[in-house]
Chains A and B, each alone.
Chain A
């Protein structure tokens, strides 16, 4: 229960807003490289309340420039590239392309360095990027991602499928090195103990599900300041996901799927996701307009939501269901929301730092040696309850040691 004013402070991101000023101090995903390739001209970009386009400048470099727009265009408006006109003298932002994503820096001064996260270190062959539109504020989209308990409910599957059919899908692998499907672990142990630890990049979030026979399932996920998460997807892959505001009431998730051992089968990954999204604006085919294809029969026998097997749709329904901007005057967080509480404190601290001109205090800025930040460790492990910490660490080290690219930490 925070007042509307305090809710506005942490959610609104347009120019001259407190949270917007923090997000502008970091590289932001602006488009997929797939969009650049599909366009024979400019690529429209709607980002942080600004209407922009990716274009080549006079020297042939890719930049993000302000485009002419009308106030009544839809939030994720995607005009024909040929019709895009630039605003003369409007802001122009630098861009860099990394692993299938185009990042931009919309803040003042020198942009921070990129950390050496796995998604940036892995070769192109091992990273696949995709995005999708959610019709809600970026903060509620992020906050579901740092709540380790929600997967046991929102993503509950009432039946376990053969994990060998699970390629490229979240929670469809076996849990760690057991024969237990991940779906079963989540379903049978719904109330994890949650530990949150501050790191150089944000937060390390550990969810402990104490199981039978003195075993504990350990799931390590991360919050990367300001609006990304890094979580395990399968034993083979991790997900790094940014929740990027279009405006105050709409956002894109941008995800890098990073594979350790084998190259990513990008065709399969893209095809799976294009079945659920339309081009060119990457709007999901299931939405509030069609009730997310909710099916009560499915809910009875197969999934918690009755909205199909794609967990992205579950998250989309949960966060869009809170309204365009979650009304936090009616919210009651508990101690189980530890990561959300910690994240908000970091965000408020950052807002204060920017307002008082102490930008060097922001995570991964100032004198921080950002290039030395590696990992982060994100994985699932099942271990004896007494040494879960060590087992979780060793599981990750083993995966890294067996990996053909340099994933050492």
Chain B
């Protein structure tokens, strides 16, 4: 499994899921985690996802994503998007607890994120130093300790972690979400004394987290800069 932190611009005007799919295609990613900030959106009610972009935008069809974390994974020719976000619509009639993945961005949006080229249950995921790793907690408690010791087991000195900590159906309002096991870029440092690991294995249904290597002495300056800006 190979992955990296990256920056890119999502195209505007097309359905969000299509813009994310094309972005993944450009980078040949099979899974991405991206964060959108302050991104204008439009809800064109009578427009099918395959319809062309109209020339003007009536004012009531507009809104803004203040924050949105999205996990995109390739499923054959299409992608599945799950996410948590904070967005608003100028027309209150557009308000809904979920955000359809067919909503179109009102302009291209700059995103930062992590991309994986191939995501599987790689038994070596915790053994060799790399830029990105997938970590499944071994227990359902003490998340911070688990992430810190995973950082150490990876041979890293520090990491930044991302994951919803549970299965999310579609794109949901972050205000309604249980965030108790959600990590949106929290930093972890490898403990100086290694924990006892205790031989527990991760239950397969436990949600995974993406850990990005932020160890100062292990990465190229470019990769470190990207990781620290996530």
Contact = CB atoms under 8 A, between A and B. Distances in A.
A329 B55 CA distance: 8
Interface in B45-75: 53-62, 64, 66
A302 B65 CA distance: 46
A169 to B, nearest CB: 33
Given A198-B229, A333-B107, A6 B12 contact: no
Given A5-B90, A338-B9, A331 B107 contact: yes
B108 A2 contact: no
Interface in B202-230: 229
Contact of B108 (A6, A341, A348, A349): A341
B37 interface: yes
Interface residues of A, number: 23
A337 interface: yes
Interface string B108-124: 11100000000000000
B17 interface: no
Interface in A330-349: 330-335, 337-338, 341-342, 344-345, 348-349
A1 B108 contact: no
A408 interface: no
B35 to A, nearest CB: 11
B190 to A, nearest CB: 28
Given A3-B59, A198-B229, A341 B107 contact: yes
Contacts of B106: 1-3, 6
A3 B38 CA distance: 14
A17 interface: no
A6 B40 CA distance: 8
Interface centre among A330, A341, A349 (most CB of B within 10 A): A341
B42 interface: yes
A329 B57 contact: yes
A333 B38 contact: no
A22 to B, nearest CB: 13
Contacts of B53: 1, 332
Interface in B1-52: 9, 11-13, 37-40, 42
A330 B54 CA distance: 9
B109 A341 contact: yes
Contact of A345 (B13, B38, B56, B61): B38
Contact of B110 (A1, A4, A330, A342): A342
Contacts of B109: 341, 345
B55 A330 contact: yes
Contacts of B60: 3
Interface string A1-31: 1111110000000000000000000000000
Interface centre among B11, B38, B53, B54 (most CB of A within 10 A): B38
Size band of the interface chain B makes with A: 20 to 34
A27 to B, nearest CB: 25
Nearest to A4: B59
Interface in B133-177: none
A3 B108 contact: no
A333 B12 contact: yes
B211 to A, nearest CB: 23
Contacts of B37: 345, 348-349
Given A337-B108, A345-B110, A349-B38, A3 B55 contact: no
A3 B59 CA distance: 5
A346 to B, nearest CB: 9
A348 B37 CA distance: 9
B38 A2 contact: no
A5 B64 CA distance: 11
A299 to B, nearest CB: 28
A286 interface: no
B13 A6 contact: no
B57 A3 contact: yes
Contacts of A349: 37-38
A352 interface: yes
A389 to B, nearest CB: 10
A348 B109 CA distance: 12
Nearest to B104: A1
A335 B9 contact: yes
A7 to B, nearest CB: 10
Given A332-B13, A338-B9, A3 B110 contact: no
A203 to B, nearest CB: 10
Contacts of A341: 9, 107-110
A2 B37 CA distance: 15
Given A338-B9, A341-B9, A1 B57 contact: yes
B220 to A, nearest CB: 13
A186 to B, nearest CB: 24
A127 B170 CA distance: 56
Contacts of B62: 2-3, 5-6
Interface string B168-201: 0000000000000000000000000000000000
30 contacts: A1-B13, A1-B106, A2-B62, A2-B106, A2-B107, A3-B42, A3-B61, A3-B90, A3-B106, A6-B64, A6-B106, A198-B229, A329-B57, A329-B58, A332-B13, A332-B53, A333-B107, A334-B11, A334-B108, A335-B9, A335-B11, A338-B108, A341-B107, A342-B110, A344-B107, A345-B37, A345-B110, A349-B37, A349-B38, A352-B66
Cβ-closest 9 pairs across A and B: A3-B62, A348-B38, A1-B57, A2-B40, A329-B57, A3-B59, A335-B9, A2-B106, A330-B56
Given A329-B58, A338-B108, A348-B64, 17 more contacts: A1-B53, A1-B57, A2-B62, A3-B40, A3-B90, A4-B59, A329-B59, A330-B56, A332-B13, A333-B107, A344-B107, A345-B109, A345-B110, A348-B38, A349-B37, A349-B38, A352-B38
